[in-house]
């Protein structure tokens, strides 16, 4: 790890050790061994967050964990997270998670993003080498049709998605001509996918209709409407994809100049990339102006 990443890691270590204490940004800079100005530049470049933004989102994420697992009063959570009032905490929480703290606690289906993960050495290396922090913007002019299989999934357990891909790849590799491209679509629900109480999305994996083998029955079909997308590139092992997704939802989306669309999000990859050790994947995030 280079010196700049080491300084950012030292700053993160200080923040996490003192997350609920009263400390200044100068204290963080002192712990990292550089000036505040220099640390701000390093931190934003490596993490994709300002120092203040990282501290606030980490405190909100810890509060969300307690909302899920305890009966601590929301007012107490607000005070512990450094907010002057429950109202200020609720506004910040709703801006970050999209729902109020009360609804987040009562309704598991409202928990559509997990918050901001603690930055680790692995994540710093990942973001510096494996993910493009700024996406390219693409306007799809025509509808896109996907044919494949689907499962219900949630944000904390990706085993149904992993199992779906293993099943699909095993079926497709038996074909005389495997498809050139693979796709996935993520949306709140699909009529062909059964969602259990803990499931928060319907995940479809497949190919274009022309490349779907006629021998694979039954199948699901989805028409994705045209629209705008932010396209993020992920390079490296697929097990690191969770870091890329977390950056998109916890860091990029809350501060971009677009609204999240209700259209499905897409994952796009070549057959070669999906079946190799060092994969390449594009994550298409649906947006509205």
d(CA 285, CA 273) in angstroms, rounded, equals: 20
d(CA 91, CA 114) in angstroms, rounded, equals: 18
**pLDDT, greater one: 145 or 217:** 145
Say whether pLDDT at 128 is over 70: no
- Is residue 117 within 8 Å of 126, Cβ to Cβ? no
Say whether pLDDT at 237 is over 90: no
Chain Cα centroid distance, residue 88: 25
Say whether pLDDT at 47 is over 70: yes
- The residue ranges of every structural domain in the chain are 3-126, 136-288
Nearest to 224 by CA among 164, 153, 286: 286
Place domain 136-288 in its CATH homologous superfamily: Regulatory factor, effector binding domain (3.20.80.10)
pLDDT attached to residue 249: 80
Instruction: Name residue 152's beta-bridge partners.
Output: 202
Strands 201-207 and 259-260: what pairing?
unpaired
**pLDDT, greater one: 173 or 127:** 173
pLDDT attached to residue 103: 94
For 3-126, give the CATH class: mainly alpha
Chain Cα centroid distance, residue 53: 17
Residue 131 buriedness (CB in 10 A; 0-12 / 13-18 / 19+): buried
pLDDT attached to residue 131: 62
Q: Which stretches of the chain are assigned E, i.e. beta strand? A: 136-140, 144-153, 181-187, 201-207, 220-224, 227-235, 259-260, 265-270, 280-288
Q: Is 223 helix (H, G, I), strand (E, B) or coil?
A: strand
Query: What stretch of H or E contains 98?
Result: none
pLDDT average, residue stretch 68-88: 93
- Is residue 228 within 8 Å of 261, Cβ to Cβ? yes
Vertex 65, ends 91 and 195: CA angle to 5°?
A: 95
């Amino acid at each position: 790890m280079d010196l700049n990443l080491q300084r950012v890691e030292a700053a993160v270590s200080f923040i996490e050790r003192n997350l609920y204490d009263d400390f200044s940004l100068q204290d963080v800079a002192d712990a990292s061994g550089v000036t505040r100005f220099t640390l701000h530049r390093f931190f934003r470049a490596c993490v994709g967050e300002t120092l203040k933004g990282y501290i606030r989102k980490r405190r909100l994420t810890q509060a969300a964990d307690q909302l899920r697992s305890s009966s601590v009063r929301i007012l107490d959570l607000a005070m512990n997270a450094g907010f002057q009032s429950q109202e200020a905490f609720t506004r910040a929480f709703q801006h970050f998670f999209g729902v109020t703290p009360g609804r987040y606690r009562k309704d598991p289906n409202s928990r559509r993003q997990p918050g901001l993960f603690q930055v680790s050495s692995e994540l710093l290396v990942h973001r510096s080498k494996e993910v493009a922090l700024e996406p390219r913007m693409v306007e799809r002019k025509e509808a896109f049709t996907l044919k494949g299989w689907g499962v219900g999934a949630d944000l904390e357990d990706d085993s149904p998605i992993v199992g779906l891909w293993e099943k699909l790849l095993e079926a497709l590799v038996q074909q005389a001509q495997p498809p050139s491209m693979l796709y996935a679509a993520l949306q709140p629900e699909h009529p062909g996918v059964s969602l259990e109480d803990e499931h928060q999305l319907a995940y479809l994996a497949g190919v274009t209709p022309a490349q779907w083998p006629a021998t694979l029955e039954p199948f699901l079909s989805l028409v994705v409407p045209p629209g705008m997308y932010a396209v993020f590139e992920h390079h490296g092992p697929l097990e690191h994809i969770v870091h890329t997704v977390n950056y998109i939802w916890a860091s990029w989306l809350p501060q971009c100049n677009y609204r999240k669309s209700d259209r499905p999000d897409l994952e796009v990859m070549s057959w070669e990339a999906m079946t190799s050790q060092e994969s390449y994947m594009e994550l298409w995030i649906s947006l509205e102006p």
